[in-house]
Amino acid sequence: MGRDSTKWLILATVMVGTFLGRLDQTIVNLALPKIINDFSITVTSAGWIATAYILANAVFVPVWGKLGDTIGRKKVYIAGFVIFIFGSALAGLSWNLGSMLVFRVIQAIAGSADYPTAMAILAFAFPAGRERAQALGIWSSVFAASAVVGPLIGGPLIDNFGWRSVFLINIPIGIIGLVMALMFIDESTGSKAAKFDWWGALSLGVSLSAVVLVLDKGTDWGWLSGNAIVAYLIAVTFGVVFYLIEKHFEEPIVDLKFFSNSSFVNVLVNNFIVFMGLMGSVFLIPIFAQTFLGYDSTQTGLLFIPMAGALMLAAPLGGALVGRVKASHVIAISTFIAAFGLYLFAAFIDVRATAFDIMFPLFIMAFGLGFGMAQRTGAIALIVPAEEMGIASSLLALARNIAGAFGIALFGTILKNATEGNVLAIASHSRIAAGASLAARQSYIALIELKAQIDAYHTIFLVGMWVMVVGAISSFWLKLPEREHHGEPALVLD
């Protein structure tokens, strides 16, 4: 089999792995009500099932990225697959909350190996600039596709086979992906480190754990509560320790020279802004559909089908522009389109909204996001040498994950505060007859609360739109090399 055909099989292979990892994240949330009943736990306790996964995933992304560059991407990728299959089987056999948390952490540790190693594997398999960008764009579209497929298959699985099936389904899919990886992926490495930076990894892990934990729990704790302040102190303290270790370690887990490159920093900042606005606003759509439109989980999942279609359509179209249109311009235009999609949400949001009123803005937003996906993801491949692609892409993944967590926390707080402010504002301009009955007064209060909540969602999507506009404008400052020299990008320190 020729190299040209093999590299597309490699793309298909890493798409299976990425799809499986992201599918697990979306599908498990649907199973939480059943798990709560079976384990006799509270909703708050069940929240730790998601939090534990997010924490472990964030902490180990840079670790796997550096290990892949050091000992070999194929080894790390396959190790992640094997551990993920093992963790999924254990999670499906969980007998209480404690066992579930342990097994979810095992899954998360394994799942975090996918992004940095997959991106580095693709960069090695696709040395040519245009084909590499197209491959990275197609691969990136799997992230959103898995978010759509998760609810679509999760509901029927849970209803017919129980909540354990959402974990056990990973085993056959995982075995297929593992066999493909063994058959098609070639080994590649980057720098050869004399010893691994364990202390750097540990200090970074503690700092990231504190950051993700406070972002996930801050709304419940209170942003200035004792728990939150302790988390802030831990994050800053271990962040400083991490910086001091990395500054003097010969082969650091995160090479600080990346951050002296303005192009690399600009790519991270742009991705942070865009994903903060995107995740912060979009995560509220299922909540709105189920709370105010009366949709169940399966019906809500169906709303996201056009989103998957838009991504699959837009990603190759945007990838075809690589080398023809300046990458920063494609990213900017695509982000403006995504911002327009969020504006449509703000315009259509209402308790009388139809399925089309949600599907159409989702389609526009996803088309915009997908159109610039090849350039947005491939930007790292243009800036960073191939031997450091694993750790560089892990930093991109980390920036997106933290941005998503920050966006969800920020927009959740905005929604809460906006609702409370709207209640006071609407009540101050509303009147009810002095002799109104108790039922009339209850309806009066309920209508005020409903109006306040709907207006708060309107505010959220407008804020998301403006965040995306800022991301679009910031794209013009991205300084990306338009072509690679001798098949490899060069890291230029500014």
pLDDT per residue over 292-326, tens digit each?
888 876 777 778 778 877 877 887 788 777 777 88
Quote the CA–CA distance of 64 and 61 in Å, as a whole number: 5
How many C-beta atoms lie closer than 10 Å to residue 221's C-beta?
17
Q: pLDDT tens digit string along 359-371?
A: 999 899 889 888 8
- Inter-CA distances, 320 with 126, 271, 323, 326, 335, Å: 15, 21, 8, 12, 17
Asked whether 374 and 327 are in contact (CB, 8 A), the reply is no
Cross-strand partners of 475? none
Asked whether 135 and 84 are in contact (CB, 8 A), the reply is no
Closest CA to 92 of 178, 145, 19, 24: 24
Cross-strand partners of 485? 488
Q: Residue 86 has what pLDDT?
A: 92
Asked whether 119 and 201 are in contact (CB, 8 A), the reply is no
Extract the residue ranges of the chain whose pLDDT is less than 50.
2, 483-494
Q: Residue 494 has what pLDDT?
A: 34
Q: Residue 236 has what pLDDT?
A: 93
Locus of tokens 């989980």: 297
Query: Position 29: which residue type?
Result: N
Asked whether 485 and 335 are in contact (CB, 8 A), the reply is no
How many C-beta atoms lie closer than 10 Å to residue 194's C-beta?
7
Closest CA to 408 of 284, 494, 236, 319: 284
Closest CA to 457 of 413, 403, 418: 418
Closest CA to 96 of 152, 144, 36: 36
Quote the CA–CA distance of 353 and 110 in Å, as a whole number: 41
**By three-state DSSP, how is residue 72 classified?**
coil
Asked whether 394 and 253 are in contact (CB, 8 A), the reply is no
Q: Residue 2 has what pLDDT?
A: 46
Closest CA to 172 of 16, 58, 374: 16
C-alpha R_g of the chain: 23
- Strand residues in 185-303 grouped as ranges (E): none
Quote the CA–CA distance of 406 and 51 in Å, as a whole number: 14
How many C-beta atoms lie closer than 10 Å to residue 324's C-beta?
9
Query: Position 211: which residue type?
Result: V
Does the reported pTM lie above 0.75?
no
